[in-house]
Chains A and B, each alone.
Chain A
Amino acid sequence: MASAEIAVDIDNVVKRYGSFTALHGVSLGIRENEFFTLLGPSGCGKTTLLRSIAGFEEVTGGTIRLKGEDITNLPPHKRPVNTVFQQYALFPHMTVTENVMFGLLRKGWSKPESIQRVNQVLEMVQLGDYAQRKPSQLSGGQQQRVALARALAPRPAVLLLDEPLSALDLKLRQAVRVELKALQRETGIAFVFVTHDQEEALTMSDRIAVMSDGEVQQIGSPPEIYETPVNRFVADFIGETNLLDVDVHAVSDGMARLSLPGGNGFTCPAAAMRGPGKGHLSVRPERIALCAQGAGELDATVTGRVYLGTDIQLHLRLADDEAMTVRLQNSETTVVPAEGATVGLKLEAGAARLLAD
């Protein structure tokens, strides 16, 4: 990748708090005009990384470059990035207009220019009618839009969003996802979005960095992350998956030969090159088809059925007592086996993946 198209270059960034290490040498590049998501469970370091880009955290080591310029040691007010805070952090004593104008005036814009820009961004987030309200007179969703407008107004090089949807209720959250994505396309600037919600990450992002324990586990597009996870953590964290203990015989050219529980041989893509031994096979529940007993790679007994509306979830048990889940699409032609029945499971070779730990 040419450095010109990299908006934020994070190079081996380390952050320690006393004896606790929040970031273990994180490196990643966020491209121009990209919706980039930092995804991971709480405590994985994603917020620390975002706050390091904003300048609220001083990093212990490493370099952060913004459009090629080293900003590692710049204070927050000298970095041309803006943040949408988790609880919005709107100035309670200022009107919506004054909140949005704050950054423009501090940046040295003239008053008429600022007013024009404020009207423009408030129009963009559909809050034109609320310009003279105080934040306390707005709903949560409206406050969130003010925070967005305030951060977008000074035309930042990169917009940072720290779990901005977590304070909204579910319905609103889903609507805002679509708007946020559209806004990113419209403004054409890179959005760096922090979330612990994998569904949010999958639906909005161009690329996702999955983080755990202060390290980046995998970076890729949503389909890459979901369909070709590099390790157990990513497979388990993104969506549902079945992790089967398997014996690996050989790995070559990215394909693994292994034997499944029950003894059947199987060949599938491997996430890591490794020698023979024990391994974990990840199979998504919706990528398994049912067939007659003995006709598939595995045989299993149905232990439970859960009706999910669009899908039907089957809980199964393998001969060696391992539990598995299968999702069947709910349609007129779907045949749902009875509890206690033994069925064959057909694994799609392309949808299963041998994982490193």
Chain B
Amino acid sequence: MAAGAPMGGGAVSNVYKGNTAKLMAPAWAMIGIFLLAPVAMMVMYSFLTKEFRGGVIWDFTIAAYDQFFFDRGLFGDEPPTIEWTYIGIFWRSIWQAGVATIACLLIGFPTAWFIATRRPSTRSAWLFLVTIPYWVNLLIRTVSMKFLIRDTGPLNELLLWTGAVTEPLGLINTNFAVQLGLFYSYLPFMVLPIYAAVERYDFSLSEAAADLYSNIWTTLWLVILPVVKPGIVAGCILVFVPSLGAFLAPDLLGGAKTFMIGSLIEEQFKGSAGNWPFGAAASTILLSIVMAVLLFYARSQNKGSER
């Protein structure tokens, strides 16, 4: 890559000298219209005043953020104390998404490894099998999960029939149900990037490690995982970020105790009870957290490769 890049770059700049800006324009337009503008609108709405039938009044205020972080009593006239409700919801969301991500990693890594080490001719068939559930709408898959794990569903009936349990497990409306839903929803997003990384992995590195007195576990820890790390990180981001903002799984599989950010934001924009600025503020805070984590990661990666 390092050897090819300067030559390729040179050829392009000779032919298109001075036209770079024009050539970049469509890409910038796309990013501007579909990415930056909506985010800017969201941030702007978070600083507006709410209107009671939904929508906003164009008066600048930080009321939404104030409501998110501080409790000023029922009538807003008490000294402010920290409002733990929303911070708690955020914390629970991060926890739920984190558990789902780790579960996806634990199942996804061996799956990806298995597929990547099959004969090349059969790999695409395995990948195809992994993606088949995604032909069905996410809503339908999540509802199906609810039917599967509810007290009178097949899972509990099977367990009762075999005598493994004496009464239904009561899975529905628990954190576990939400984690299961998230895990099932986003598992392929973990498998595919790890598969891509493992497929490129040079297995002579494992041989070299074994040759240098490393057993299978130290080889996994010291050589394989560090080398395929970009795939693992990509998979974790692709699972964690959408899990954090998910609302279908918590809505359908969870209950009041498993309320997540996605549902909180969704409610603010639904019907006349909503609060657009508050929803926009919650979204902005969520986006900031995700961006901070990604930037922190990118920074630490750059430091590693500078050496």
Contact = CB atoms under 8 A, between A and B. Distances in A.
A89 B213 contact: no
Contact of B205 (A55, A76, A91, A132): A91
B167 interface: no
Interface stretch (A77-85, A110-118, A307-315): A77-85
B226 A93 contact: yes
Interface residues of A, number: 28
A185 interface: no
Interface in A102-143: 102-103, 106-107, 132, 134, 136
Nearest to A103: B212
Contacts of A83: 207-208, 211
Contact of A89 (B202, B218, B222, B307): B202
Given A89-B204, A91-B205, A106-B218, A76 B211 contact: yes
B227 A85 contact: no
B173 interface: no
Nearest to A108: B213
A154 B202 contact: no
Interface in B185-220: 202, 204-205, 207-215, 218
Given A89-B202, A132-B307, A154 B207 contact: no
Nearest to B222: A102
A165 to B, nearest CB: 17
A154 B209 CA distance: 13
Contact of A95 (B215, B223, B307): B307
Contacts of B202: 87, 89
A18 interface: no
Interface in B213-239: 213-215, 218, 222-223, 226-227, 229
Contacts of A103: 211-213
Nearest to B204: A89
B223 A85 contact: no
Contact of A77 (B204, B213, B222, B229): B213
Interface in B52-85: none
A54 interface: yes
B256 interface: no
A284 interface: no
A91 B207 CA distance: 11
Interface in A23-80: 54-56, 75-78
A353 B222 CA distance: 56
Interface string B142-161: 00000000000000000000
B208 A77 contact: no
Interface string B254-288: 00000000000000000000000000000000000
A277 interface: no
B91 to A, nearest CB: 34
Contact of B213 (A87, A93, A106, A132): A106
A64 to B, nearest CB: 15
B213 A154 contact: yes
Given A93-B226, A136-B2, A154-B213, A87 B204 contact: yes
Contacts of A91: 205, 208-209, 223, 227
Contacts of B211: 54-56, 76-77, 81-83, 103, 151
Contacts of A151: 211
Contacts of B222: 102
A150 B2 contact: no
Given A132-B307, A134-B307, A150 B210 contact: no
Contacts of A85: 204, 207-208
A80 B171 CA distance: 54
A56 to B, nearest CB: 6
A55 B212 CA distance: 12
A300 B218 CA distance: 68
Contacts of A92: 205, 227
Contact of A106 (B204, B212, B227, B229): B212
Contacts of A93: 226-227, 229
Interface string A302-331: 000000000000000000000000000000
Nearest to B225: A93
Contacts of A136: 2
A55 B207 CA distance: 9
Given A77-B213, A136-B2, 10 more contacts: A54-B207, A56-B210, A85-B208, A89-B202, A91-B208, A91-B209, A92-B227, A93-B226, A93-B229, A150-B212
8 contacts: A56-B210, A83-B207, A87-B204, A102-B222, A103-B211, A106-B213, A107-B213, A136-B2
